[in-house]
Amino acid sequence: MVKNTLYCGGPSVGLGDWFWPRKSPLGFGDSWPQLIGRTVIGTHRGRTAVALACRLLGLGKGHEVLVPAYNCGTEIDALLYAGVTPVGYRVSQQCDIDLADLMARKTSRTRAVYLIHYFGWEQPMAQLRSWCDEHGLLLIEDCALALFSSGQSGGIGRTGDAAIFSLPKSLGFVYGGLLSLSARPKIEALCLKPSKSATWFKEIRQSAKSITFRNLEHLGVYSMLVSARHRRRLGRTNSSESEGLEDMPDGYYFNPALDADRVLHPKAEAILESVTWQEIVRVRRDNYLRLASGLESIDGVRLLFPKLPPGVCPLSLPLLISSRNQCARILQAKGIAAFPWWAGFHRGGLDWTQFPESCWLKHNVLTVPIYHGMETRSLDDLADVTKEIVHEMNR
């Protein structure tokens, strides 16, 4: 029998911050190393930033963009909305992009390279930047999983002509993205739309939910609540283990009415000014190392990234587990924010038969939380629960 666990949900924004955000003498664009000296536009979502980047960089119909085969699918759909044709390139089972394969897929229609910094680890930017410059190609960095990370090139996201960031993944917002540009476009001519009023209320609800769950944990009823909630969800969904190319969730697809040309809510932008990124990096690194040490010796479980290089701000702890979906369901039933990472496939973006390594990653990567708001006891409890679950699964 797997024991009850402590609250291990995702990151969240403090409820009071939505009403009384703390001010900083410097705006986030002037204090976050990844953004200093660049043009920054707050967007409704990360996918909004992807489509807007194409618009500002002059990418559209008739242009090809080289994209990594291991992807969420959301970015692929935003590129398709912008009118470009995504052309996939290989990514290894260690999440390293295959530079030789990327370069071999360039054609006369190629206009840009799109790359993803997986979970906060940097891709080979110097070599790729040099190759793009040599061939007159634009470089777009997807930093949705790499907020506050740095590497050999400095802050991740400073090398490309454009960089995309996601606020929900790292900071716990419901909505929010950032587009960082190396050049100064004519932003005043964009006619961007404001966020809808419902955005703020959804953010408040998300923050209140996190507080409620923590209070329920202190009362000793959190595990019972989430178990009952999860049983109801399983009754409405198909929970079978599948190795097929299942579709990604409908919510991952680009909705022009909601996602196109819409800016970040001003309340969210105010909160960003008070974010202490240095403390977030320190705590996430400590949490990663602590949880990794508790899980690395489990049979049937491997760390996707056994080493944590200097400067990396890990988004989560990605694990490689053969029965990933089953393990994720059990952990989620315990109220743990474990995810079968990028499990779905975009319906029409790429020819997946060319990319077995990326399909393998989509079927085997499980992420568990190490976010900056977690307590040490929650990390230790998560390690114990995961060990027991995997042990029972291996019987």
* Domain residue limits, the chain: 17-189, 200-235+276-393
Domain 200-235+276-393 falls under CATH 3.90.1150.10: yes
Quickly count: other Cβ atoms within 10 Å of residue 395's Cβ.
4
221 pLDDT more than 90: no
Give the sign of the dihedral formed by CA 283, CA 288, CA 289, CA 293.
Answer: positive
DSSP letter (8 states) at residue 82? T
* Rounded distance between C-alpha atoms, residue 228 and residue 234, angstroms: 10
What CATH class has 17-189? alpha beta
Q: CB-based contacts of 168: which residues, under 8 Å, 6+ apart? A: 174, 175, 176
What does residue 340 show for φ and ψ, rounded to 5 degrees?
-75, 95
User: Rounded mean pLDDT of 308-335?
Assistant: 93
User: Rounded mean pLDDT of 332-354?
Assistant: 90
What does residue 168 show for φ and ψ, rounded to 5 degrees?
-60, -40
Give the sign of the dihedral formed by CA 87, CA 91, CA 95, CA 97.
Answer: negative
Kind of pairing, strands 150-151 and 154-155? antiparallel
Model pTM?
0.91
Span 249-261, pLDDT tens digits: 999 999 999 999 9
Q: Tell me, yes or no, if the two domains 17-189 and 200-235+276-393 fold the same way.
A: no
C-alpha distances (whole Å) from 316 to each of 167, 227, 339 are 14, 23, 10
**Six token digits for residue 193:** 């739309």
Among the listed residues 251, 242, 239, 244, the one whose alpha carbon sits nearest the alpha carbon of residue 352: 244
pLDDT of 210 reads 78
What does residue 178 show for φ and ψ, rounded to 5 degrees?
-135, 135
170 pLDDT more than 80: yes
C-alpha distances (whole Å) from 198 to each of 201, 202, 353 are 5, 6, 41
Span 44-96, pLDDT tens digits: 999 999 999 999 999 999 999 999 999 999 999 999 999 999 999 999 999 99
DSSP letter (8 states) at residue 242? -
Higher pLDDT, 42 or 2: 42
H-assigned helices in 196-239: 197-219, 222-236
Among the listed residues 157, 171, 87, the one whose alpha carbon sits nearest the alpha carbon of residue 122: 157
224 pLDDT more than 50: yes
**Six token digits for residue 199:** 């955005």
The packing angle between helices 324-333 and 376-393, to 10°, is 130
Q: CB-based contacts of 224: which residues, under 8 Å, 6+ apart? A: none
∠360-119-303 over CA atoms, to 5°? 60
Three-state SS at 134? helix
* Inter-residue contact 259 to 44 (CB < 8 Å): yes
* Rounded distance between C-alpha atoms, residue 200 and residue 53, angstroms: 25
Higher pLDDT, 236 or 381: 381
* Rounded distance between C-alpha atoms, residue 243 and residue 245, angstroms: 7
* Rounded distance between C-alpha atoms, residue 81 and residue 51, angstroms: 7
User: Rounded mean pLDDT of 293-311?
Assistant: 92
Higher pLDDT, 296 or 310: 310
DSSP letter (8 states) at residue 193? B
User: Rounded mean pLDDT of 262-286?
Assistant: 92
Span 1-33, pLDDT tens digits: 444 555 666 666 887 888 877 765 556 777 899
For 159-163, 287-291, 321-325, which range has the lowest pLDDT when averaged over its residues? Answer: 321-325
Higher pLDDT, 13 or 363: 363
* Rounded distance between C-alpha atoms, residue 165 and residue 394, angstroms: 38
